[in-house]
Structure 1
Amino acid sequence: MHNIVLFGPPGAGKGTQSQKLIAKYHLVHLSTGDLLRAQIVEGTPLGLTAKKLMDEGLLVPDEVVIGMIGSALHNNRQAAGFIFDGFPRTTTQAESLDRLLAEHGTSVACMIALEVGEEELVTRLLGRGKTSGRPDDQDEIRIRRRVTVYNTETAQVAGYYAAQHKFHALNGIGEVDAIFQHISSIIDQHQAAGSEAPAAATREVKA
């Protein structure tokens, strides 16, 4: 099983690159944001709580996120690998993810971080907010708060994976395809080093 953490601040392009990676490597896309938004659409108690926090640009409690990840892993036990988009966000979550994956007999192969400056992120997210309908993409104060949370808390996760020799950073500004090729080369290097190759078909996450 080949598991990849795609990392970066909100607006760095993780969603775009994830879709391209899924098409090439046939990994299961596991986005905590998507899982949470599904709960919001369904109007579950978890969804209502998550919506309030997300609208304020705050993080959802670890135990809630880990529970959703565990359920997704359980429901996709035959997957060739996962791409974790927007998770883990803290060192504590990274440690929990390692334990959770170990229970399933696998681990994170590499972490790839897209690096983008704050002003570019603000521009991107405000532009996205015109079509996404997400309140946290339409308010500059909330956007900058999310970037601050990333810089003060989430970025520490890079050190966690660097200590495991799994961290790779690259410039998230430029042509989408050029960035994708750079990411692909990193993944290919890990696979050539002995990682298990992905299966022949893309699998959808079962919530």
Structure 2
Amino acid sequence: MKVAAPNATVDLEEDECTVCCAPLRPPVFQCAAGRLLCLTCYEELLQKDTLVIPKASPSTSIIITINCCESKKKICDDKSPTGSVLKMDPCGGGFGDVWEMDVRGIDRIVKLILWHCGAVDAISVVYERDGQEEQTRQWGKAEGERSEICLESDEYLTCVKGRLGNYGGCFLVRTVTFVSNRRTFGPYGMDEGAPFELPAAGGRIIGFHSRSGGLLNALGTYVKMD
């Protein structure tokens, strides 16, 4: 039986809580790495901010942080003054090099370039800062199919969503979809795994940060509240 929870749709016959390994029963929650939690572990995570998955070995311990879309939406709506920029936690695995965009002075995202096949191989962002176009390096390796997303001058991104899962022995971004105030682009990659979503919650996405190695391990956003 599949049940739609606040942040994920799960198959209760197959899934278990990432932390305590108990069979999942509604309600079900999704943490920042796309891992699914039962209500008891979710409430513990809210109190402690972080949890360590006990079944991971010491050398590969996984620390998870809360990434509830509804709670982030409330933070954006209630506590963020106009013009502020919020850094939304990355969704995905914990491995790979960390990449950041300096979002100071960025006016808008102009173009996204993606490479994808069985997962999201790499991404590069073209953006406008003080009237001049700049581009990030490739986060990941430029392999697989190449796709470009070109935004109109008055178009901006309002949400990034997709699925996370294991591929090539790593937990990473399997597929990604970009939503603007006009259109939806994607999905790019293999549409399999646990769903994630990073909404702008009334603002607009002006930048990204990530973790990557040979593939895109995790992706987060910078949101400007207009």
Interval containing the TM-score (normalised by the shorter chain): under 0.3
Larger radius of gyration: 2
Q: TM-score, normalised by structure 2?
A: 0.22
Q: Which one has more relative contact order, counting CA pairs under 8 Å at least 6 apart? A: 1
Q: Name the structure where strand makes up a greater proportion of residues.
A: 2
The structure that is helix-richer by fraction is 1
TM-score normalised by length of structure 1: 0.23
